Structure 1
């Protein structure tokens, strides 16, 4: 039996100026850690009378607008900086009259229309009237929060009902539960949900090592993240009966909308005691240096999901080895169903 009992759904949220740079090596959509962070911040901010516990979160993207300019195949982020100082300000800044323009900090921004799905539990979830009241209160709290650094924009006139939140208690019966989720999937169209595909990364690494034993997980990750142009040599017979080699180029791209994504952080140092590292943000908790962890994600249409577990992301840390990452059960549930 599934551990997910209730889904809290905030549909068609419009987010302005969200962070499009998800890691030092990826961009295009906020990292899932931003949405898990939103879930934890939301749980702390809710008033005590709501008595909600948040377990996992899923995201469906309905529309996006990256703030970039494109010339051919090259895209550049639209950057901004503080206005240049006036002549009077220049004289105050430097005694010799020289002036250096303020530097530009690279910031990638994107406008989004997304649906957030939370797996929740609490006493109010089992009372329909109280559950819908809780959903509205949660939506009001979220409207005043930041989502991946972006601001939540109020619904335009005439579209308020489209953004109406609701809480969906899931039935214990498998058939009734499947019918419930089928109806939910239809309401999330058109859109795409981001799921984790660690299995594709593993399979690609095994395949590459058949020809290149020195291949690393980074090679497999890069191979899945790009279009690969491969040269094909074929033997053709000309009119004189002689065989010639014909060269052709083909693009090899794995099936599906695959994208490189960050999935958390890995430790690169021991864990320091609170206050041992100078200038740490919080001197009351342990500290550890980390670097980003990467995997492969896939954008799938919601109608291809068969259960909530395939959509939702949750924290899956291994503190003994210094692994702080997020996980998603799309592959496990997909194989179980197949």
Structure 2
């Protein structure tokens, strides 16, 4: 879904309780699941919806709003470890060779961008209920969607945002939807921060790379400033007030090999689809409050696949306010 594309509806699945989602979002990052996991959920949901007879709509993009999380790690100290379960033993009493992943519990709302040319009002309610029922039986980033009691279920009933009006109507309806989802934070793309940090690093090191910029943004660097007079120094970090909640994130995959013919690679998961070896791609993201979003495109993530260039990326069209880019 490009920045100039306008979905006809937003389907909001509010306050899903997801247990034991995959907390290892890539080989180098952990915490909130990667957006590729949510895009995978969207594509799987679209296939299930078509199989269920809901073929009048298409799924274009997805946004995730986090209301809370609990990563399953040990507490205390500077070094944390994932809490892993005791695996069953083999016949000889040794531990089974199971590589267990880190887990995280999520309280998340999903926002799906839908396009429908002919979706009657009578059919919408039934289709939305059917889609919610499908999601309840699916895995979200490897986690299980937990059922709710009747009182909570009424508050978490899915709803639609109609975006078929003019730009002013769409903007107001989107703002109302954001208010209904508060309190919550949305993960948006901040590719621009990499370029800014790279320019800063090159002032001191002309050979600095985008990897250096990514690693620099992924950590908080502290230095001791002695000040004008001795005894009046203080520790200062490279993050200033107002920088936001910046996090390193995976944003898709880059090709390591040419496309292989379907079935030509042994043990591939799907023998009917071309195969390619890939590695993770990384960028920066920012968690921001929903009240700061100005349009659906700033919330939603979509796939940008360029097989000829070997790129399979998740993209988001968030742009910071002009005051942020000038600072």
Shared fold (TM-score greater than 0.5)? yes
Say whether 1:164 aligns with 2:157: yes
**Equivalent position of 2:109 in the other structure:** 115
CA change 1:153–1:100 in 2 (3 A) is closer
1:274 deviation in Å? 2.1
Which ranges of structure 1 fall in alignment gaps of 5 or more residues?
A: 91-98, 237-243
1:48 deviation in Å? 2.3
Say whether 1:36 aligns with 2:39: yes
Say whether 1:75 aligns with 2:102: no
Q: How many Å separate the matches in 2 of 1:104 and 1:48?
A: 39
Q: How many Å separate the matches in 1 of 2:77 and 2:70?
A: 18
CA contact (8 A) 1:132 1:167 kept: no
1:318 deviation in Å? 1.5
Alpha-carbon displacement from aligned partner over 1:201-257 (angstroms, at most 9, x marks no partner): 111111111111111111111111111012324342xxxxxxx69754312225100
CA contact (8 A) 1:144 1:152 kept: yes
Query: Cα RMSD (Å) of the superposition?
Result: 2.2
1:316 deviation in Å? 0.7
1:272 deviation in Å? 1.7
Say whether 1:17 aligns with 2:20: yes
Q: How many Å separate the matches in 1 of 2:173 and 2:309?
A: 40
Q: Which residue among 41, 48, 70 is the counterpart of 1:65?
A: 70
Q: How many Å separate the matches in 2 of 1:224 and 1:323?
A: 23
Q: How many Å separate the matches in 2 of 1:282 and 1:84?
A: 31
Alpha-carbon displacement from aligned partner over 1:116-169 (angstroms, at most 9, x marks no partner): 1011122454x3332222111100011011110011111234211221011221
Runs of 4+ with deviation above 3 angstroms: 99-104, 244-248
SS of the residue corresponding to residue 62 of structure 2 reads strand
Say whether 1:252 aligns with 2:257: no
Q: How many Å separate the matches in 2 of 1:112 and 1:246?
A: 44
**Equivalent position of 1:95 in the other structure:** none
Say whether 1:271 aligns with 2:276: no
Q: How many Å separate the matches in 2 of 1:276 and 1:141?
A: 34
SS of the residue corresponding to residue 305 of structure 2 reads coil
Alpha-carbon displacement from aligned partner over 1:84-108 (angstroms, at most 9, x marks no partner): 46xxx43xxxxxxxx5433462411
1:75 deviation in Å? 1.6
Q: Which residue among 5, 9, 19 is the counterpart of 1:6?
A: 9
Q: Equivalences for 1:85-124 in 2 at 5 Å?
A: 89-90=91-92, 100-103=94-97, 105-123=99-117
Q: What is the aligned residue count? A: 318
Alpha-carbon displacement from aligned partner over 1:33-60 (angstroms, at most 9, x marks no partner): 0100000000001122442200000000
State the TM-score, normalizing by the size of structure 2.
Answer: 0.91
**Equivalent position of 2:206 in the other structure:** 213
Q: Which deviates further from its counterpart, 262-271 or 154-163?
A: 154-163
**Equivalent position of 1:323 in the other structure:** 311
State which structure, 1 or 2, has the greater radius of gyration over its C-alpha atoms: 1
CA change 1:151–1:212 in 2 (3 A) is same
Say whether 1:234 aligns with 2:227: yes
Say whether 1:149 aligns with 2:154: no
Q: How many Å separate the matches in 2 of 1:260 and 1:162?
A: 33
Q: Which deviates further from its counterpart, 131-140 or 185-194?
A: 131-140
**Equivalent position of 2:295 in the other structure:** 307
Say whether 1:175 aligns with 2:156: no
CA contact (8 A) 1:68 1:75 kept: yes
State the TM-score, normalizing by the size of structure 1.
Answer: 0.88
Q: How many Å separate the matches in 1 of 2:16 and 2:214?
A: 32
